[in-house]
Structure 1
Amino acid sequence: MRAPSFWWRRPGHAGLAARLLSPLGFLYAAGTAYRLRRAGWRACVPVLCCGNIGAGGSGKTPVVLDLAQRAMARGRRPAILSRGYGGHAPAGTRVNPATHTPRDVGDEPLLLARIAPCYVGADRAVSARRAIADGADCLIMDDGFQNPTLHQDASLVVVDGYVGFGNGRVLPAGPLREPVAAGLARAGGVVVIGPDLHGIAATLGGDPPCFTARLRENTHDVPADRPVIAFAGIGRPAKFFDGLARCGLRPRRGLAFADHHVYTAAECRRLCALAEEWDACLVTTEKDAVRLPPAFRAHVHTVGLQLEWTLPTMPEHILDLWLGRMKDG
């Protein structure tokens, strides 16, 4: 499903649909709060959660990849825990990019496993035990801020600076999984990705601390002398299309699909037909690329993302917050 447009209106301007759905949002928030009362399993190694308060893509995965690489540069052995959305592998499965497919483990874990060992499953405690048994000395959760199965020693709320917290309402009235105040009360820090158009850093006032970064598109794989047909099935496809435009690549067509969309043979043929019609090259995200049939993927150019922190001290402060935590018992 695609997010309705009223989710992204400013608070106070969400419209009739959001107001009518607000009672359901209250129930959803109550259910989240009740679930979070459960005490999670406490691992014997530091656990960092990179999550969000809102549904959809906010830039969590690039943050996880960046911090995992920095942890390894410090001589640590991180493992990444992911839900594996859309996959059917048993909880605690270690992802093998050479043999697993998105139908097995989801799309994001295939990207994460290129950097560090990645384990999938809704019960993060099961994955954590397996990762620790395999030698991990620290754990990073990609999403799962509202998942109570594993105790989090430190947590980051990642926010897309372009949309902020949307209309400020809880699902289905808005994009939030819980009220902003409730989520920030548990967070050890906030990471705003992209320009802070909603003044989140100023609103926080340093509690919790706010870190800022931006995503830089790597378009080296895209021919500069040909038209572009772009397509994406991510949380906010428009963010991908806008990023291409900032790099000087203005797509002749931008086709948006639902997050985690599995591309059919008919859709692949349609994309190929469009590319032939415009004498253009097809361009998509790394996350989409792993979901494409191999034969079709060979004809598609992939644009990767590089996280750039506003200050080089920011990720080091996060690592100190996470890896410096003393374990109780």
Structure 2
Amino acid sequence: MIRLRQPPAFWWQAESRGKRPILSFALAPLGLLYGAIAGWRMRRSGFKAALPVICVGNLVVGGAGKTPLALALAKRLIVAGETPWFLSRGYGSAAEHGAPLIVDPSLHCARDVGDEALLLARVAPTLVSADRVASARLAAEHGASVLVLDDGLQNPALEKDLKLIVVDAGAGIGNGRCLPAGPLRAPLSDQLDFASALVIVGEGAPAAGLIEAARRAGKPVVLAQLAVTSAMAAQLAHRRVYAFAGIGRPNKFFATLDELGAEIVGTASFPDHYAYRRADIATLQRAARERDARLVTTEKDFVRLSLSANGPAMVDPVLPVPLAVPIEMTVSDPAELDALIARALRRARGNS
């Protein structure tokens, strides 16, 4: 199994008085300081955009399902007659620190605008820039009726009308400490106070206490699921696969493949948003060929396999070609989510 740098394991270990990992304990003062600053920033007033702002974020560092939820929201908004535009920071991309850039999948690759932005742009117009205020203004000028932020929950730049916090039920909030002692981006109490609702993805004991805390605080809890599309599920069932992923929780992707009935003959984990090199892809392709397996990865990883918008330039077509495994998010009670959105839009437009 190939392993590269990942978040420290102690972040996800439950702590008790008699069992505290040394590193977590040693970093706790820094975590308290970081959390205090992050909590203060979240309470600052932001710019009030001319359009309603829906923000999808998470409590911790790493993947919880923000982008699939943002995509699901945009689809629901389009059906309701809205014109959503996505605002993305484009983490690690060339466009991150520049003026807002409208994503064009026919021209841009992941290095230009970021992997998430390319996925978002398949559903609705997408702007990339760390300057969310400038992006909001530009989207309004181009006819947007509502803005959807993929991440940015802890960033105070824009005032947010609906704040949905996504939680992976299988991971929860780890040890409950703030960075760097744990995975929390800000103190849990501050984030729960700030949230409009929690979206719990999947099932798992780690989220049970968080659900109870949210309900005590009067915050709605929406239950959601992530699943591979039915067509892809049928294609992978009982097939030998070599899987790789550079996302927040690669093991979650591997577990999904296992649940489909795929025969996993090897895996490779990379850091989130990893910039793949030709040598990486060649190694993965050879490993799949040696195991007579299909090479599979996430959609986020797949869009990072190209040096240009014209195709997977780093992939050797003679060896097993990577296959993207698409996933979709569904909610248990769509009417509940639609009601949250409708109320937020009415309030933002002064029609409450």
TM-score range, shorter chain: over 0.9
Q: Is the 8 A contact 2:238 2:262 kept in 1?
A: no
Partner residue, 1:252 = 265
TM-score (norm 2): 0.89
Partner residue, 2:213 = 203
Q: 2: distance between equivalents of 1:213 and 1:271?
A: 32
Deviating more after overlay: 75-84 vs 312-321 = 312-321
Distance 1:244 1:225, change over 3 A: closer
Partner residue, 2:13 = 9
Give the AA of the match of 1:114: R
Partner residue, 1:319 = 341
- What secondary structure, in the 3-state scheme, does the structure 1 residue paired with 2:225 have? strand
How far off its partner does 1:224 sit? 4.4
- 1:237 equivalent in alignment to 2:259: no
TM-score (norm 1): 0.95
Q: 2: distance between equivalents of 1:219 and 1:20?
A: 47
Deviating more after overlay: 289-298 vs 150-159 = 289-298
- 1:167 equivalent in alignment to 2:175: yes
Q: 2: distance between equivalents of 1:227 and 1:113?
A: 32
- 1:85 equivalent in alignment to 2:91: yes
Deviating more after overlay: 237-246 vs 196-205 = 196-205
Q: 1: distance between equivalents of 2:348 and 2:139?
A: 19
Task: Provide, for residues 176-199 of structure 1, a one-character-per-residue CA deviation record: whole Å limited to 9, x for no partner.
Answer: 110111100010000011104221
Question: Which of 26, 31, 46 is equivalent to 1:25?
Answer: 31
Q: 2: distance between equivalents of 1:219 and 1:73?
A: 22
How far off its partner does 1:36 sit? 2.9
Question: Which of 261, 267, 274 is equivalent to 1:261?
Answer: 274
How far off its partner does 1:314 sit? 2.7
- 1:43 equivalent in alignment to 2:49: yes
Partner residue, 2:115 = 107
Give the AA of the match of 2:338: E
Give the AA of the match of 1:269: A
- 1:118 equivalent in alignment to 2:129: no
Question: Which of 38, 61, 70 is equivalent to 1:64?
Answer: 70
Partner residue, 2:292 = 279
Q: 1: distance between equivalents of 2:93 and 2:86?
A: 16
How far off its partner does 1:154 sit? 1.4
Give the AA of the match of 1:324: R
Distance 1:304 1:62, change over 3 A: same
How far off its partner does 1:283 sit? 0.3
How far off its partner does 1:175 sit? 0.3
Distance 1:327 1:14, change over 3 A: farther
Q: 2: distance between equivalents of 1:255 and 1:134?
A: 42
Partner residue, 2:326 = 304
Task: Provide, for residues 208-247 of structure 1, a one-character-per-residue CA deviation record: whole Å limited to 9, x for no partner.
Answer: 1111111011363445464100000000000000000111
Aligned-pair Cα RMSD in Å: 1.8
Give the AA of the match of 2:181: A
Q: 1: distance between equivalents of 2:43 and 2:220?
A: 24
Deviating more after overlay: 17-26 vs 307-316 = 307-316
Partner residue, 1:215 = 226
Q: Is the 8 A contact 1:120 1:127 kept in 2?
A: yes
Give the AA of the match of 1:27: L
Deviating more after overlay: 23-32 vs 307-316 = 307-316
Q: 1: distance between equivalents of 2:238 and 2:257?
A: 14
Task: Provide, for residues 23-59 of structure 1, a one-character-per-residue CA deviation record: whole Å limited to 9, x for no partner.
Answer: 1111111221333343211011111111111111110
- What secondary structure, in the 3-state scheme, does the structure 2 residue paired with 1:205 have? helix
Give the AA of the match of 1:271: L
Partner residue, 2:309 = none
- What secondary structure, in the 3-state scheme, does the structure 2 residue paired with 1:252 have? strand
Distance 1:297 1:103, change over 3 A: farther
Q: 1: distance between equivalents of 2:69 and 2:291?
A: 36
Give the AA of the match of 1:44: A
Q: Is the 8 A contact 2:51 2:348 kept in 1?
A: no
Task: Provide, for residues 104-141 of structure 1, a one-character-per-residue CA deviation record: whole Å limited to 9, x for no partner.
Answer: 11100000000001111112111111111110011111
How far off its partner does 1:14 sit? 4.6
Give the AA of the match of 2:129: G
Q: 1: distance between equivalents of 2:347 and 2:20?
A: 41
How far off its partner does 1:328 sit? 6.0
